[in-house]
Structure 1
């Protein structure tokens, strides 16, 4: 049985750590990227500690120190913003007026340099946020695939717009153009992939960027700073380090940020959107809270439902916005479902992120273990119980997953997004009860349905697609494949992301138009054949 003592023994002693799994040499970052230069930093720094702890002889645990990074303030934020504003230059800058083909070439240069630093970045993902080695590698490789897919999607988009249209005597050409300066903030759970899912399309569409790395996962961008510096014109991408509560309001209340992209909390987003002097000018592209439910019907394949719900609720310790965070199981099968679920959960390997086959790893966010414990105590005090052996045991940064049943209205777990390794389970008799749970939720990202009945699935799908943006049938909630739209209703999202949708989110349709006369046709022909304009052209990008 899992206990505090067994969890404690999973942390290595210094002597037990083999050379191939030793943490990277400390990275004391003393530079930041502004206006095409890696500027030196001599001010305050933030110490970075791994969720992986060393176990000392007396049993005490100590988080491994990985290094440090700059803690900038308002002056640094203002410098980064000024550089991005100057590089955009009201749409006259080199980057926003550059040909799409040339922007693609810059992005390809960056990608090649990024791939060359794969091992450094993967290692830092693993050590900084406690993600397994295998999943860290998947995150890096998926991100590279995403960049390349974005490049191909932009080629197709631009090629489709490389012709003139003639309608009612008017000649027009319509293309997508950038929005301006983008403030980009990513999350800690997928610090590379989720961040680049907004950063890459924002850049490649011709916007300039102020980028604030997440607090947990900041160091992993250090190996990429030189690639950013050398691949793009100066001022196109600028980094800001520091406390979000200090630097972000200063950026937004300037009124010079055109687009806010945030993967995080809806409460934070609500606050930030009120800061610009002209809020209606700020486009927001947001990935926010989610409390995705699984609805397991009596005729579901229990083995399949258990497998998918286990993956959906506990992959990367449940620290995914798309995680299944509430399991609604029909009363007639809830006991066999719980028995099978807890049996399979007990097979999950708990350990350090470099171990092969590991599923449950240390939590990166300070205070997360305490928060998980508080949620459990609240549920137990209101009538729920932990149904799996050892569920809720914790030591240091490790928290053993807890399956909690029966969870009901009034408990924090019923509505609150736990974003961690707790699996709330509720039962229902009437299908309307499960449907009402989704309808009454403040969140509207995804839902999973488990059933073999076409009638039942059809009955649920029709109302659910009007409550959430993706209904998964007999499978867990997830983001991919990246060509599919990723968004949400209610408090879960604003704007749509995917390979193609993101290009549209970070741009706007602009056009030129003229009357269909001989002189105007000759004028356009000269502009095109003599390459007088990067916008007015009929080039085809291969």
Structure 2
């Protein structure tokens, strides 16, 4: 069954023109793999080079544009995008697998990013005068062509949090969306691009490796922003080193949640923990992927979380009763199922629960019931890897020192959470935990989208920001009398 997404299906955008290619890849609905939602064009190296050239030409004038004009254009684009949110939600669900609630929230946050970045721009761009005997200003300027490669799991917000500040800072961008979930991004960016000069926003699609290699090797690309796996991030860093490109990367995570003996794990807290684990079927870099519970509370937390998981309704996200949709693609589905099988063979206790909304159509999509795993240790594969699925290991610990040691025993260091009634202890532990951000009695995202704290170790390459990411896409320089 084919249900073609209007206009952007099978096309790419370069220099203001949408061009259709004969060579395409189907984008399937993970809830019903027989449904083709639309198609994505397979762009060649020549097309990518043309996109870089268009961005380079547009940069010459856009980088010198008035700051107020940039903000006004973005605010106008945000108003136009807000008018088409509802009509894009269902297709986003169909190509991604999120629930209706999750999908709409992501789209609304894209508009919020646009308005928030535009509001931050004017004050952020003003020269900063440093104290001292000599008058020295810190001034900012756009860097140049910016390549943005985004993933399939949370494509909307992760794309907009890079494209929007890059453009507002005065850069021209080449965007490469994930092949598994490109259509809603392209449709929404079409709305945005229409409010900017041709070439400021360009979109190419197809093979991640082929396009990524081209973007990394081209000296005209001055910034490369990537969201995805740590392995791919390392490969990109190696290939971009020849041109000393600025890299901004959000990579993998294996987030620990640490539950202390005094934690108030009431119904509301268990629900917050469940949401931190199962949001988007666990396919979130900053989702909880390991739970450590002080021994005296271990059995209680396992029991309560199992009961909470049992309430989850799994099915096609387009159905309003569904609280967790399918995994996005076959590769991830196979990986997570293989991980469960290997864990069971090695002695792990798999507690699978939840409600199948439509058992008769279960095998038509990449559906999985959520699972809690006990009986594993710190060296288990399930504990070491980024599962990226609706499965969670729960491990006991004796004291705070052991909990911190176990939590830090990972190459990843994206987010962490501490669950305790003692805020002083939570702060003390946060100072010792290796993570870009630590939450207290929750494991979520920052409600203020101007905040973005990067991961440490192999979870990211960047620095913290309070300005919607604007500084990631600009150079600072000194001006002295």
* 1:232-381 map, 5 Å: 232-276=196-240, 278-279=242-243, 281-303=244-266, 304-381=268-345
Residue 173 of structure 1: CA displacement? 4.6
Is the alpha carbon distance of 1:221 and 1:120 closer, same or farther for their aligned partners in structure 2, counting shifts above 3 Å?
Answer: farther
Give 3-state SS (helix, strand or coil) of 2:272's partner. Answer: helix
Report the equivalent of 1:86.
Answer: 57
Mapped partners of 2:101, 2:206: distance in 1? 30
Residue 174 of structure 1: CA displacement? 3.6
Is the alpha carbon distance of 1:178 and 1:302 closer, same or farther for their aligned partners in structure 2, counting shifts above 3 Å?
Answer: same
* Structure with larger Rg: 1
Is the alpha carbon distance of 1:377 and 1:41 closer, same or farther for their aligned partners in structure 2, counting shifts above 3 Å?
Answer: same
Residue 167 of structure 1: CA displacement? 5.7
Mapped partners of 2:427, 2:477: distance in 1? 41
Mapped partners of 2:239, 2:313: distance in 1? 45
Is the alpha carbon distance of 1:168 and 1:496 closer, same or farther for their aligned partners in structure 2, counting shifts above 3 Å?
Answer: closer
Residue 86 of structure 1: CA displacement? 2.1
Structure 1, 236-245 or 492-501: larger mean CA deviation: 492-501
Give 3-state SS (helix, strand or coil) of 1:452's partner. Answer: coil
CA contact (8 A) 2:161 2:468 kept: no
Report the equivalent of 2:69.
Answer: 102
Report the equivalent of 1:468.
Answer: 435
Residue 27 of structure 1: CA displacement? 6.1
CA contact (8 A) 1:182 1:258 kept: yes
Mapped partners of 2:372, 2:121: distance in 1? 45
CA contact (8 A) 1:292 1:477 kept: no
Residue 187 of structure 1: CA displacement? 1.6
Report the equivalent of 1:177.
Answer: 141
Residue 81 of structure 1: CA displacement? 0.9
Mapped partners of 2:440, 2:416: distance in 1? 9
Residue 356 of structure 1: CA displacement? 2.2
Correspondence 1:42 to 2:44:
no
CA contact (8 A) 2:23 2:41 kept: yes
Pick aligned residue for 2:421 from 448, 452, 458: 452
Mapped partners of 2:399, 2:113: distance in 1? 42
Is the alpha carbon distance of 1:190 and 1:498 closer, same or farther for their aligned partners in structure 2, counting shifts above 3 Å?
Answer: farther
Pick aligned residue for 1:63 from 31, 34, 45: 34
1:326-378 Cα distance to aligned partner (Å, 9 max, x none)? 00111222111111111111112222212224212111122222211211122
Report the equivalent of 1:520.
Answer: none
Report the equivalent of 2:388.
Answer: 419
CA contact (8 A) 1:211 1:240 kept: yes
Residue 228 of structure 1: CA displacement? 4.1
CA contact (8 A) 1:149 1:499 kept: no
Mapped partners of 2:231, 2:479: distance in 1? 40
Residue 488 of structure 1: CA displacement? 1.1
Give 3-state SS (helix, strand or coil) of 1:364's partner. Answer: coil
* 1:179-198 map, 5 Å: 179-198=143-162
Mapped partners of 2:168, 2:240: distance in 1? 25
Mapped partners of 1:457, 1:25: distance in 2? 48
Mapped partners of 2:131, 2:295: distance in 1? 63
TM-score, normalised relative to structure 1: 0.82
Structure 2: 5+ residue runs without aligned partners?
none
Pick aligned residue for 2:185 from 221, 226, 239: 221
Give 3-state SS (helix, strand or coil) of 2:197's partner. Answer: coil
Mapped partners of 1:226, 1:409: distance in 2? 46
CA contact (8 A) 1:446 1:488 kept: yes
Pairs aligned (count): 475
Is the alpha carbon distance of 1:73 and 1:388 closer, same or farther for their aligned partners in structure 2, counting shifts above 3 Å?
Answer: same
Give 3-state SS (helix, strand or coil) of 2:161's partner. Answer: helix
CA contact (8 A) 1:70 1:241 kept: yes
Give 3-state SS (helix, strand or coil) of 1:360's partner. Answer: coil
Is the alpha carbon distance of 1:438 and 1:37 closer, same or farther for their aligned partners in structure 2, counting shifts above 3 Å?
Answer: same
Is the alpha carbon distance of 1:443 and 1:29 closer, same or farther for their aligned partners in structure 2, counting shifts above 3 Å?
Answer: same
